A and B are shown apart, each in its own frame.
Chain A
């Protein structure tokens, strides 16, 4: 790739494809996330980062080396990483005396920090400690949020949106019914967030819909809310703005009635029904012989009436 300051020229087709994948698109692909290890991390935090990375593979990058970054003070380093790896979600883990076992969940818009939430881990059960078989990587998880705090409190609303963004998988048009195996359950209670991950077992029930049984699996966290940085309302609105091409165009003059038949509507000019050109029935046309006979009859009639 050669640069001219404002234009990048790709010299090979592979590099051209790479550049095009990083361009802004009308409908975006799945967001990738970067999982960064901070200046000092405890065993808990390192294991937690690895577990989340396992959940989010293959759309995640794990930066295992220590990065002396303070996201709340200076987010330029994070923005630089995001630009280099083309990731818009990040998870930063650190540990110090003042904030033990710290995880910062965040997302970016246009490579600038949009929202950041700092959560402290109070209790953590790792994937390794729970000895059950896990579901294959890349399964789209079922997400459940419980607790009225997620509805009433503004910070919790944002956090809910952030966690949805982070953990929801790729956008799919159809899902295999037997493949709904993984569920992530978030409960908000008294300023704490409990995240549990279960494996779904579909059991037979009397009818078509199966009965659910859950099996403990995967990482479980007890979070406590610490600092946060939320985007201003207008930046948040700008980030949500969808381009015009995304909405499907409504087809006018087509409607469906109750029986499912498709009806269309035609707009016509005013027609003079007297001069309407209908089918010509040649048989019904008046013949020449008949015509003269008729006129003769008419003529014969006329003088008779006259008389």
Chain B
């Protein structure tokens, strides 16, 4: 025992360790690259083509595979393990090899009209219960859907209201109202989707419908006509086709909830105008009136003989009436106060 030195003990321990690990050690020139997350190993070493002869090919490949697999298994056994229902399981890290995706990443959807409004007003989503107590049937029923608690359309008795037509079918009326609500909801849902995907949806009357009325067809024709590069300026009319005159800017309404300060200012101005005792002076109108008076006087002076006729002719010539003569027949909107000169 005295001859045993520390070095001997250490070398003996090392030899024992090497013996133990002999079974699993593999000697390679270059270390392999591992990706334990994917259970992947990559061997960069040169393969000796001399050993790769025809008859010994399979054995060579098998021994190469055995060595590489041993190294990969060694790597996997180094990972932390845990026990899941009496099975020992190794936790894999994230894979390091980057593989291409199947589809492009999803883009965040823009909020819908209601979501924008709710965010603006600060309305939170309230969690509602799935089932509601139905007094009539004395049981718990769904809040919406098949066999729901308060189903309007399933009532067997509807009182005819006082001001309604007695021969009107109230049941049909309710059903129709429901169908309209469903259609409106669907339309709004599609508009939200179209807005999210930035697809332009054609406006009313331009989307293909089974039966289009004369007015809808005319509108579609007009829209098609101005869809050229020069906005329909050089499109010839068909024989007997009349160009619609009131295609201009329609009235633009301010959004319901927008700039609060400007709305406040507008309303205060309105109140100020209403409050003031002085009548407001529209300068253009006043100038026009003055010009017309002068024209009338000069016409009267020049045509003394036919004064009555001329006067009558001039009296009917008020700016608005003349300009909107044709337009008014078609549509009442879009009337700009034209500063059209009356008949001279």
A residues engaging B (CB < 8 A)? 4, 6-7, 23-26, 28, 31, 88, 107-111, 114, 140-148, 150-151, 160-161, 164-165, 168, 171-178, 180, 183, 185, 187, 189-190, 194, 196, 198, 200, 202, 205-214, 216, 236, 238-243
B102–A168 CB distance below 8 A = no
> Interface on chain B toward A: helix, strand, loop, or mixed SS?
mixed
Contact of B81 among A26, A88, A177, A243 (CB under 8 A): A177
Can you name the residue of chain A whose Cβ is closest to the Cβ of B61? A196
Contacts of B97 in A (CB 8 A): 161, 164
Q: Does B197 sit within 8 A of A, measured CB to CB? A: yes
> Interface on chain A toward B: helix, strand, loop, or mixed SS?
mixed
A209–B39 CB distance below 8 A = no
B40–A180 CB distance below 8 A = no
A150–B42 CB distance below 8 A = yes
Query: Can you show 9 pairs from A to B with CB atoms below 8 A apart?
Result: A6-B193, A23-B106, A142-B39, A146-B65, A172-B92, A174-B91, A206-B22, A211-B24, A213-B66
Contacts of B106 in A (CB 8 A): 23-26, 243
B70–A211 CB distance below 8 A = yes
B199–A180 CB distance below 8 A = no
B101–A28 CB distance below 8 A = yes
Q: Does B84 sit within 8 A of A, measured CB to CB? A: yes
B103–A185 CB distance below 8 A = no
| CA–CA, A242 and B95, complex, Å | 14
Contact of B69 among A144, A205, A206, A239 (CB under 8 A): A144
B residues engaging A (CB < 8 A)? 19-24, 38-47, 49, 52, 58, 61-62, 64-66, 68-70, 72-74, 76-77, 81-82, 84, 87-92, 95, 97-106, 189-190, 193-194, 197, 199
A175–B197 CB distance below 8 A = no
B72–A209 CB distance below 8 A = no
Contacts of A160 in B (CB 8 A): 42
| CA–CA, A150 and B101, complex, Å | 22
| CA–CA, A160 and B42, complex, Å | 10
Q: With A140-B39, A142-B72 in contact, do A209 and B77 touch (Cβ < 8 Å)?
A: yes
Contacts of B62 in A (CB 8 A): 196, 198, 214, 216
